């Protein structure tokens, strides 16, 4: 518990960064797929 309290900012930072990276790479992969379909048509 003490660990969580002491490093709470860093834990929030890690969770936020992982979430943001997930959103970014998901969007990036959709962008890539869309580009491929657009080029096909």
Partner 1 sequence: MDKILKYGLFIWLTAVICFAIIAPIPAVGSMGERARILYFHVPTAWVSTVAFIMALFYGAQYIRKRDILYDYKAASSAALGLIFAVLATVTGAIWAKFEWGAFWNWDPRQTSIFVLILVYGAYFALRSAVESEDQRAKLSSVYSILAGITVPFFVFIFPRIVDSLHPDPIVNSSGKVKMNTSMLLVFLSSLAGFTGLFVWMLNLRIRLSKLALKEDRA
- Smallest CA-to-CA distance from 35 within 8, 14, 27 is with 27
The answer to the question of residue 18 lying near partner 1 (CB under 8 A) is no
Q: Does 16 bind partner 1 (CB under 8 A)?
A: yes
Q: Report the alpha-carbon distance of residue 13 to residue 16 in Å, rounded.
A: 5
Residue 34 as a binder of partner 1 (CB under 8 A): the answer is: yes
Q: Are 2 and 11 in contact (CB under 8 A)?
A: no
9 touches partner 1 by CB under 8 A: yes
Q: Give residues in contact with partner 1 (CB under 8 A).
A: 9-10, 12-13, 16-17, 20-21, 24, 27-28, 30-31, 34, 37-38, 41
């Amino acid at each position: 518990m003490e660990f969580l309290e002491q490093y709470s900012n860093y834990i929030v930072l890690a969770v936020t960064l992982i979430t943001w990276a997930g959103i970014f790479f998901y969007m990036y992969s959709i962008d890539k797929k869309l580009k491929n379909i657009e080029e096909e048509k």
